[in-house]
Amino acid sequence: MKKTLILTATALVACAATAQDDLAPITLKAPDLNREAASLMQTFNKRASCTNYSDRALSIQDLSDLLWTANGFNRPEIKHRTVGSAMNAQDIDVYVFLPEGAYLYDAAASVLKPIAKGDFRAQAVTQQPAQGVPQPPVLLILISDISRFTRVQDEAGKLKFAAFDAGIVSQNISIFCAGAGLATRCRGAVNVPKLKEILKLSDTQVPLLDHPVGYQK
C-alpha cells in the first residue's frame, strides 16, 4: 500500500510538471523606444477606465512594451526599473493571464515564464465583464512579495509599502495604455484564494491589484 501511495504521488508530480511544460515560455521583444504614441499631455488627456474590450489578442510588440513599461529594467546594468519602489525592494511581480495560461513576467530575461496551463482569467478576479462582453485578452495581476522589504520588520509596514509600489506600477500601465491606444482600468478585484491556488503563491506573496488590458471595442 505504501509503495502504491509513493507511486501515485510521483505520478501526480509528473503530471503537474508535464502540464506546465506543455505551456511554452513566451519570448518578448525589446521595447520599441521609438514607437509612435500620443504626446505626453495628450496621453494624460486620453487616460480613462475601460469596461468594454475587444477579444483581439495583443500584438507581441504591444505586450512586450506594456510589460517593460509596467516593470521592466530601463537601467539593466545597475538592475533598476522603469518604476520606483520603496527602499528599492522591487517587490512587485507582474503575472500575466492569457487565454492559454498564466505566466510570470521575467523582466531580466524578457520572457514570460509559464506557471499554469489553462484559461484562468475569469477565476483570477472577482469582477467579470457584463453579459455578452468578452474577457479582455490580457489580465495583469500585481503581486508584492513582502519578504523583499528586508529593512522593515512589521508586517503592517511591509503591506503599506507594498500598496504604494503596486500603485506606481499600476499608474505606468494606465499611462502606457492611454498613449499606445490600448484600454485598461485599475481594479482591486483580485481573487486572493484562487490566485494562491493557481499560482502556488507563498505566504509572503500578496495579490494587490489587477489590470485587464486590450484594444477598446
**What's the pLDDT score for residue 214?**
96
Q: For 69-74, what is the mean pLDDT?
A: 98
| Residue 198 resides in a domain | yes
| Residue 15 resides in a domain | no
pLDDT in tens, 163-191: 999 999 999 999 999 999 999 999 999 99
| Residue 125 resides in a domain | yes
Half-sphere exposure of 39 (CA within 13 A, CB side): 2
| Residue 18 resides in a domain | no
Cβ proximity of 146 and 155 under 8 Å:
yes
Q: Is the pLDDT of residue 151 over 90?
A: yes
Cα gap 125→117, rounded to integer Å: 17
| Residue 13 resides in a domain | no
Q: How crowded is residue 210: how many other Cβ atoms within 10 Å of its Cβ? A: 28
Domain count, the chain: 1
For residue 23, give the DSSP letter. S
Q: How confident is the model at residue 21 (pLDDT cuts 50, 70, 90)?
A: low
The torsion defined by the Cα of 149, 166, 58 and 138, in degrees rounded to 10, comes to 90
Q: For 88-117, what is the mean pLDDT?
A: 98
| Residue 174 resides in a domain | yes
| Residue 2 resides in a domain | no
Return the percentage of the chain with pLDDT > 70, whole number.
90
Q: For 73-77, what is the mean pLDDT?
A: 96
Cβ proximity of 183 and 50 under 8 Å:
yes
Q: What is the mean pLDDT of the chain?
A: 90
Pairing between strand 92-98 and 101-106?
Answer: antiparallel
- Residue-number span of the structural domain to which 98 is assigned: 25-214
Return the percentage of the chain with pLDDT > 90, whole number.
81
| Residue 16 resides in a domain | no
Kindly report the CATH number assigned to the domain that includes residue 53.
3.40.109.10
